[in-house]
Amino acid sequence: MPRRDWRQRVQDILDCIAAVESYTAGMSAEAFENDHAIIDAVLHNVTVIGEAVAHIPEEVRARHPEVEWRRLRETRNVVAHVYFAINIPRVWRYVHRGLPLAKSQLQKLLADEGQADE
Whether pLDDT at 59 is above 60: yes
Give the pLDDT confidence of 8-27 residue by residue, as tens digits: 999 999 999 999 999 999 99
Residue in 24, 15, 4 with CA at minimum distance from that of residue 97: 24
Distance of CA 68 to the CA centre of its chain: 10
Give the pLDDT confidence of 22-31 residue by residue, as tens digits: 999 999 999 9
35 in any annotated domain:
yes
pLDDT confidence band for 51 (50 / 70 / 90): very high
Range of the domain at 68: 6-111
117 in any annotated domain:
no
Write down the mean pLDDT value for the chain: 92
Q: How far apart are CA 45 and CA 47, in angstroms?
A: 5
14 in any annotated domain:
yes
How many domains in the chain?
1
Helix spans in 34-81 (H): 36-54, 58-63, 69-81
**pTM score of the predicted model:** 0.91
Give the pLDDT confidence of 82-103 residue by residue, as tens digits: 878 899 999 999 999 999 999 9
55 in any annotated domain:
yes
